[in-house]
Structure 1
Amino acid sequence: MELTRTNYSSGAPLEEKTGYSRMVKVGPFIYIGGTTAVQPDGTVYGEGSAYEQTKYILEKLVNLLEKAGSKKEEVIKIKGYATDMKYAPEIAKAYSEIFHDIKPLFTVVGTHMLNRPTQLVELEVDAVIGSRVE
């Protein structure tokens, strides 16, 4: 079985320079790479607040899913990175506000740093179009 692959860009200059996509859709499967709270103007949203950054990132991710014909109810897995595990409760709070009833797999891993010192959280998402919670 051959599946069609579609690459999606967020328009970030580094994507073209480095050669990566923000999101890849293969058949019904959607994979969104590491996404942070960087705004279109290049500034970091919610500086100093892991909760605000997580909420902003999740909103970005839901918008990306919709571009690919999916929705938050079809999210299977979210993987997060936090520059300090003390942020885990803030990350979990923002996550729960959007995904509590959907209950995808959810992992948060501590990491020394992200691309910028003001970035506290980075998230990745996997979804399957047509999947539903029973």
Structure 2
Amino acid sequence: MSFGKKKPSSDIKLNRKDYEKNQKKIGNEFERLMASYKQDFDSREFKQSIDSDRISVVLTGNRQVKSIHVDQELLSTNWENVEENLVTAINQCISDIHIADVELMKLVQDELADNLENILKKSA
């Protein structure tokens, strides 16, 4: 009886090759799905308002500031309060975008899982 290392069989190499091929298919499909959703997500607008819409900010999904509104009456009041409210509104938008981004990733993962069998059958 020999206790040395066994030489890998050709079946194992084939399975590893198939595994790598399937991983590439899954990766390509994930990239395709993300690209299709991400384009819409990046242009989506996220708005937060403070003080009954007297201060509002709009950011896009790719975290670009699209607009900032401060009611004229507030500009003549305590500027520190205005700054604090602007920062709060922007941070809330960023938080909303992060949550939506996580939800998007979950959606893509679920769609990928639901279609896994079809993905692996493609050009098998």
- Settle same-fold status: TM greater than 0.5: no
TM-score (norm 1): 0.27
TM-score (norm 2): 0.29
Structure label with greater radius of gyration: 2
* Higher normalized helix content (fraction of residues): 2
* Higher normalized strand content (fraction of residues): 1
Q: Which one scores higher on RCO, CA 8 angstroms, separation ≥ 6?
A: 1
